[in-house]
């Protein structure tokens, strides 16, 4: 994406509470989004220009695997939150691999791409969880914020070929319908060849589900006994989204 280079170290800590959807609906929790699937792989030394560079082949294998096993149509993906460090080598490799997989023609809606690193810098160990928190907030507010500091597209990114658009203004979600929810992909990779991708879906209440808000009532003792709470700490960019 070749923003003004933001690949400088930053610090950050992010925590998420993950809960089974049925439990969250039962308890009347405020549900920001639904994680449809998370998958990671390692590309080893395949198709790599250096230890520090990502592999397009490894990313393609990961994207193919996660969308096939989840049975999510890639055409439904509204936006990709990219790893997007702003480096002249990494960005074209990642963006072209994503563009090749989603393969949007000029007759399709464009594939929107951005990165939270344009806002917060490279939080290194916290960069993956930062992206996920951003997307949860996007789902909550039903809009994609613009990338900051975007000046010119890296000439090695084949944006026109794959109908890719860098988000440069606030983009609202499509109007609510009874049929389709908004789906967003989160792309990430780390040193040594680790790749990760998450598929995040907009939450729609099922009939009979409790209102999507924080419950203020006290549950009875049977409810307390049946609940199981877990805290997952995503501690490293290299292992992001790996439980």
For 37-74, letters b (16+ CB in 10 Å) and e give: bbbbbebeeebbeeeebbbbebbbbbbeebbeeeebeb
Q: Is residue 167 part of a domain?
A: yes
Looking at the domain assignment, is residue 18 inside a domain? no
Residues with Cβ < 8 Å from 123, sequence gap 6 or more?
10, 11, 12, 117, 130
pLDDT at 212: 66
Residue 110: which domain range? 35-205+218-239
pLDDT of residue 14: 83
Answer yes or no: is 8 within a domain: no
Q: Structurally, how many domains does the chain consist of?
A: 1
Q: What is the pLDDT along the chain (243 residues), one digit of tens a residue?
A: 444 344 556 677 788 889 999 999 999 999 999 999 999 999 877 777 777 778 899 999 999 999 999 999 999 999 999 988 778 888 899 999 999 999 999 999 999 999 998 877 777 777 888 899 999 999 999 999 998 888 888 999 999 999 999 999 999 999 987 778 999 999 988 777 889 999 999 998 876 555 566 544 444 444 444 455 555 544 444 333 333
194, part of any domain: yes
With respect to residue 97, please indicate whether it lies within any of the assigned structural domains. yes
State pLDDT tens for residues 220-241.
444 444 455 555 544 444 333 3
CATH code where residue 113 lies: 3.40.47.10
6 within domain boundaries: no
pLDDT for the residue 240: 39
Q: Alpha carbon 99 to chain centroid distance?
A: 15
Q: Report pLDDT digits (tens) over 98-117.
A: 999 999 999 999 999 999 98
Q: Does 28 map to a domain?
A: no
Task: Confirm whether 23 is domain-assigned.
Answer: no
């Amino acid at each position: 994406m070749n923003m003004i280079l933001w690949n400088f170290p930053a610090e950050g800590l992010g925590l998420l509470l993950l809960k089974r959807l049925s439990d969250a609906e039962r308890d009347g929790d405020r549900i920001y989004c639904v994680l449809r699937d998370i998958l990671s792989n390692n590309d080893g030394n395949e198709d790599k220009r250096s230890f520090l560079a990502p592999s397009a082949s490894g990313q393609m294998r990961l994207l193919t695997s996660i969308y096939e096993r989840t049975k999510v149509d890639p055409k439904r993906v509204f936006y990709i939150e990219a790893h997007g460090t702003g480096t002249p080598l990494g960005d074209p490799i990642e963006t072209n691999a994503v563009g090749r997989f989603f393969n949007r023609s000029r007759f399709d809606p464009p594939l929107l791409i951005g990165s939270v690193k344009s806002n917060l810098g490279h939080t290194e160990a916290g960069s993956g969880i930062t992206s996920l928190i951003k997307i949860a907030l996007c789902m909550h507010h039903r809009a994609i914020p613009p990338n900051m500091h975007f000046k010119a597209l890296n000439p090695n990114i084949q944006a026109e070929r794959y109908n890719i658009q860098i988000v440069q203004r606030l983009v609202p979600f499509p109007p609510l319908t009874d049929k389709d929810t908004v789906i967003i992909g989160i792309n990430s990779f780390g040193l040594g060849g680790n790749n990760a991708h998450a598929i995040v879906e907009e939450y729609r209440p099922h009939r009979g589900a409790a209102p999507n808000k924080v419950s203020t009532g006290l549950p009875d003792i049977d409810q307390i006994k049946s609940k199981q709470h877990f805290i997952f700490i995503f501690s490293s960019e290299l292992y992001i989204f790996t439980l």
